[in-house]
Amino acid sequence: MADRAQVESELRGILASMMPGAPDPRSLRADVPIFRAGLGLDSLSGLALLAAIEKHFHVYIDDDNFDVFDSLEKLVDFVTRQTQG
C-alpha cells in the first residue's frame, strides 16, 4: 500500500527538480497549481513531468485524468490511489 506522505515527498522532489532554480521541495505549497501562474511549468515541462511520474510510480495518467495536475495535492491523491495494493 502506498504511503501518502512518502508519495507526497517523492512528488515534491520530482516537481522541484523540473523547476528553474530547483527550489527546496518542502517549499512547494500543496494547493498551488502546477501549470500557469502556479509553479509555472510549460507544456514541455509538463510532458517531462508526466513521463517521470509514470515511470517512477508505475502508473498511467490518461487524458481523462489530466485534472490531477490542478495542484500538488490532487496529484498526490491520484498517485496514492493508483499505487494502493
CATH of the domain at 57: 1.10.1200.10
Distance CA 57, CA 37 (A): 26
Count of the separate structural domains present in the chain: 1
Scanning the structure block, which residue is given the C-alpha cell 510532458? 47
Scanning the structure block, which residue is given the C-alpha cell 500500500? 1
User: What is the predicted pLDDT for the residue at 14?
Assistant: 93
Q: What burial letters (b/e) apply to 63-81, b meaning 16+ CB within 10 Å?
A: eeeeebbebbebbbebbbe
Segments forming the whole domain that contains residue 47: 4-83
Q: What is the pLDDT of residues 33-85, one digit of tens each?
A: 887 777 777 888 888 999 999 999 999 999 888 888 889 999 999 999 999 86
User: What is the predicted pLDDT for the residue at 56?
Assistant: 95
User: What is the predicted pLDDT for the residue at 85?
Assistant: 64
Radius of gyration of the chain, Cα coordinates, nearest whole angstrom: 12
Cell matching residue 53: 511520474
